[in-house]
Amino acid sequence: MLNDFNPYLHGLYAPVNEEVSAEKLEVIGEIPRDLHGGYFRNGPNPKTPPKGMHHWFDGDGMIHGIWFEDGAARYRNRFIQTRDLEANGNGALAGIFEPARDVANRSVHYKDTANTDLVFHNGRLLALWYISGQPVAVDAQTLETIGVESFDGRLPHNISAHSKVDPVTGEFVFFDYALYEPKMWTGAVSAVGEMTYFQEIDLPGPRLPHDMGMTENYVILHDLPVVFTDAAIRNRMWQIHVADQPTRFGVVPRTGGGPKWFEFPTCYVYHVINSWEEGDEIVMAACKMAPNGFEPDAKYGPYAAMADVLALRAQPFLWRMNMKTGEGREQQIDDALSEFPVVNNDLAGRKTKYSYHVVFDDCIEQRFSALLKYDLKTGKSTRHDFPDGVYGSEPVFAPKEYSACEDDGYLITFTADMNGNSEAHIIDAQNFTTPPLARIRLPQRVPAGFHGTWAAGV
Ligand SMILES: [Fe+2]
């Protein structure tokens, strides 16, 4: 059977069916008493067994959340009730292995799952999708879906995953792209939910970026050499084309104008580490894709190419863009392989010294076997290994209550083993190599997934 070949439906990735609520979880060690807030992680979780070819990115969005207060923890998981999940009882909507629906109108419509990313803005979670999705508001206490967020009907476009919240102004700074149109869009919503800015950016052709940079005054849009061909549009999105052209980053003022484009040697970037301003320079730290070292493995049958592409490997780089001279410089931070980078989000858009990355097991399937803590200036890192046979998720950084410096806080992640057990681990960010301060046993397995966020005080 087709699903048997798909490694992203089994083991660490097998979906869970139950929506669980659990209080007073068993703790090994001690939850720091100053830790008050929620760690939320989004990911794909097919609600029903896929009928045709199924890509890992297609699964219905599910959020797993753990809340900490007064040294105790509670857990919940809930499906994100997107409009397409509700409408798709008969499986009418396509995943990315299939032709998009509504091609005649050049209006791509894959099943919008909101399964990719989460931000915390204006007191609620927003679940975001990587292909120009409808942002879905989710209650940060219950994980119940509130509904598609249109910001009082003023949102003029969909929004991509990896849009960001400015920790100082509370603004939601977003971007979007389109599979057919040679354009990107960027805009902002105030801390209390009012649309304040929106701009359309022209491109040489339709592009597939994945992330953007945000500084205090700018966003950095990615014009990467992954482009959509007519064949991809007619047949299936997965037939993307890697073009022989440079990578460009476009620096756009957050109040409109621009962009100012900077060209660099060709590369693809999934995830930005952080971006900031230094004098005349805009600096973006990100993970630049490197060859993963694997070949498609026939044991995955029709999913061999998918598994190979998903064996994500990258190296941390800095790109410096001088707004006065127009010069750009690329600088490698380290040659070790890692991805899924996060920082202390209280410093998103500001210069950060530290970042935290995921290290993969040496196998074609994505297994997060360790975390790296980088000093971005020196390129030196320290490593936190999960126990043998235990794998983590993208972590979040949660600052201590009276945090004294950038890394004065905790890394929190979900783990899972091959026997179906999951825990949440709380790691002291300043004593990174030591065992977790606390391991919290969860009532069910948390499947491997995508991105998350920390929300203080919820
Ligand atoms: Fe992502």
Q: Where do the domains of the chain lie?
A: 2-456
Report how far ligand 1's centroid is from the alpha carbon of 36 (Å).
26
Report CA torsion sign: 340, 344, 347, 352.
negative
The Å distance, Cα 23 to ligand 1 centre, comes to: 30
CA of 118 to the centre of ligand 1 (A): 10
Q: How far is CA 66 from the centre of its chain?
A: 18
Cα 381 to averaged position of ligand 1 atoms, centre (Å): 22
The alpha carbon of 61 and the centre of ligand 1 are apart by a number of angstroms equal to 14
Q: How far is the CA of 368 from the centre of ligand 1 (A)?
A: 15
pTM: 0.96
CA distance 183 to 178: 7
The rounded distance, in Å, linking the Cα atoms of 452 and 458 is 15
Cα(439) to centroid(ligand 1), Å: 26
CA–centroid distance, residue 206 to ligand 1 (Å): 19
Q: Tell me the two tokens of residue 140.
A: 């940060």
* CATH class of the domain whose range is 2-456: mainly beta
Digit-by-digit pLDDT tens for the chain (458 residues) are: 889 999 999 999 999 999 999 999 999 999 999 999 999 999 999 999 988 889 999 999 999 999 999 999 999 999 999 988 877 665 667 788 876 666 555 566 688 999 999 999 999 999 999 988 999 999 999 999 999 999 999 999 999 999 999 999 999 999 999 877 899 999 999 999 999 999 999 999 888 899 999 999 999 999 998 876 666 555 555 555 666 789 999 999 999 998 999 999 999 999 999 999 999 999 999 999 998 889 999 999 999 988 998 998 999 999 999 999 999 999 999 999 999 999 999 999 999 999 999 999 999 999 999 999 999 999 999 999 999 999 999 999 999 999 999 999 999 999 999 999 999 999 999 999 999 999 999 999 999 999 999 999 99
Helices of type H across 13-82: none
Query: Using the 8-state DSSP alphabet, how is residue 188 labeled?
Result: E
Residue 1's contacts (CB-CB under 8 Å, 6 or more residues apart) are: none
Distance 455 CA to ligand 1 centre (A): 19
Q: What is the DSSP letter of 377?
A: T
Instruction: Measure 390 CA to ligand 1 centroid, in angstroms.
Output: 22
CA of 57 to the centre of ligand 1 (A): 10
- The residue written with tokens 């008969």 in the block is 90
Distance 167 CA to ligand 1 centre (A): 20
Residue type, 274: N
Task: Tell me, in angstroms, the distance from the centre of ligand 1 to residue 442's CA.
Answer: 25
Q: 201, 202, 205, 200: which is closest to 224 by C-alpha?
A: 205
429 CA → ligand 1 middle, Å: 23
Rounded to the nearest angstrom, the distance between the alpha carbon of 130 and the centre of ligand 1 is 7
Ligand 1 center from residue 312 Cα (angstroms): 11
CA of 72 to the centre of ligand 1 (A): 30
Q: What is the spatial distance between Cα 225 and Cα 268, in angstroms, rounded to a whole number?
A: 7
Neighbours of 433 (CB within 10 A): 12
Provide the 8-state DSSP code for 162.
Answer: T
| 3-state secondary structure (DSSP) of residue 231 | helix
C-alpha 20 – ligand 1 centre gap (Å): 26
Question: What is the 161 CA–ligand 1 centroid distance (Å)?
Answer: 7
Distance in angstroms (rounded) separating the CA atoms of residues 267 and 331: 13
Q: Ligand 1 centroid vs 269 CA: distance in angstroms? A: 10
Q: How far is the CA of 324 from the centre of ligand 1 (A)?
A: 31
Other CB atoms within 10 Å distance of the CB of residue 26: 12
Q: Output the CA 283–ligand 1 centroid distance in Å.
A: 20
